[in-house]
Amino acid sequence: MNYISLLRQSQAVRILTTVQIIAYFGSWFSQVAILTLLVQLGASAFIISLAVAFAFLPALIQGPFTGALIDRMEPKRLMNTLLFVEAICTFLFIFIEGGEHIWLLLALVYIKMSAAGFYFTSEMSLMPKILKPSELKLANEIHSIVWSVSFTLGMALGGLSVQYLGIKAAFIIDASLFIAAIFTFNRLTVSVAKSEQMGSYLDSFRDGLKYIFRQNPKLLFIIALHASVGLTVFDGVVTVLAESRYKSVISVALAIGFIGAIRSVALVIGPFLFSKYINKERLFYLFLAQGVAIMLWGFLSHDFWLSLIGAFCCGLFTTTIWSYTMTMLQDSIDKEFYGRVVAINDMFFTATATVTSVALGIMMDSGISGGSSLFALGVLYIVIALIYKFARPLLVSKFQK
């Protein structure tokens, strides 16, 4: 089976993928507008990085509740509501006018990304229930490719839209895309029985923690590996570099859009290059290559055109690391715990992304250059690669992949 045959035979995968294309494209389309608006409003590097962090922070805070809700609720109704919340929040961005509205913008980003993270967790919990293991691996890879393509087109076209149509036009287009996603999602006919749960939501969450820490500690190791992808949250660094170094060459909006686009082109190419060859032993080399690529980007970041080379190299490995570690996790979970374990996984992932974004903002506000910040992240990724190489034989000896 390949990507095309899976999409042809599975209506659920086909519709979910279509919704992903629309929603992810729209999210990154407006991301350029949000970051450009923050620059226009005079936001500091810390505030910009905080806005990026707010895209990830919700999953960290709501994790204790979303997993239990997902395991209890009918998925289609839940996911449809979450798409509607994203559409409303996106539309409200057009009312941000001045610096005094920055905190309103951050609040809307937080609510929108709360819904987006909830939707993602619901989808990642739904797919193992309706797909075979071989189909699940392909579906995760399709998801990561869709994310990358949407990121590429969304950032590139978002930059052009902000440049030539304006920030508010970008938000209106994005809100319209979410409405289209809602209509598409309503065609989904899959039905999944709710899990029978006893006790309170807090008890359900505690059961999920016990399941991970006591019954399946190897899950914690996989969750940590997956969370490392959160270190590649570079939006704040790119925005600061665009404002401080690249604006003499190209506009801030176009610099953000083009760097994001060239990186995400590599995110698309990566799975086609590495998917057939990746396994638990070779994953070490992928982590190692990711670290070296981030360091290269930091070294080249002083020049806009050279930074495009660094961004491309950095993107080659990220998607495959994300999809492979996610499949490892899904394959290791008992079905009655899908929602809670995936939600806890999202908590770890978003905690990593949030801390990374805020730390980068603090570093740059303290006078450390964006390039040096990237180089430090690359070194950290190499450390992770070494930990994986030496810890895996002890912690994941029972992995079948």
At residue 191, the 3 state secondary structure works out as coil
Question: Please, which pLDDT band fits residue 290 given cuts at 50, 70 and 90?
Answer: very high
Residue 398: the pLDDT is: 47
Cα torsion at 314, 315, 320, 325 (round to 10°)? 70
Is 80 exceeded by the pLDDT of residue 397?
no
Tens-digit pLDDT profile for residues 154-212: 777 877 888 788 888 888 888 888 899 999 988 888 766 555 555 566 677 677 778 87
Beta-carbon contacts of residue 171 (< 8 Å; ≥ 6 apart): 30, 33, 90, 91, 93, 94
Average pLDDT over residues 22-47: 79
pLDDT given at position 400: 44
Tokens 């149509």 sit at which residue?
165
Helical segments of 275-303, H only: 283-300
> In 10 A of CB 115, how many CB atoms?
21
pLDDT of residue 401: 40
pLDDT for residue 173: 86
Considering Cα of 210, then 213, then 215, then 220, what sign does the dihedral take? positive
pLDDT of 292 strictly over 90: yes
Q: Which of 12-16, 44-48, 392-396 is predicted with the least confidence, judged by mean pLDDT? A: 392-396
Residue 309 has a pLDDT of 92
Give the per-residue pLDDT at 399.
42
In three-state secondary structure terms, 200 is coil
Given this structure, which CATH class describes domain 3-186+202-395?
Answer: mainly alpha
Confidence check: pLDDT of 270 > 80 = yes
Residue 238's region, left for phi above 0, alpha for psi from -120 to 50, else beta, is alpha
> pLDDT tens for residues 206-262?
777 788 777 777 888 888 888 888 888 777 788 778 877 888 888 877 887 788 778
At residue 294, the pLDDT reads 92
pTM for the complete prediction? 0.70
Domain positions in the chain are 3-186+202-395
Written in H, E and C, the secondary structure of 9-40 is: HCHHHHHHHHHHHHHHHHHHHHHHHHHHHHHH
More confident residue, 358 or 78: 78
Percent of the chain whose pLDDT exceeds 70: 90
CA 136, 138, 143, 144 dihedral sign is positive
The interaxial angle of helices 11-40 and 75-92, nearest 10 deg, is 20
Give a three-class secondary structure readout of 130-173.
Answer: HCCHHHHHHHHHHHHHHHHHHHHHHHHHHHHHHHHCCHHHHHHH
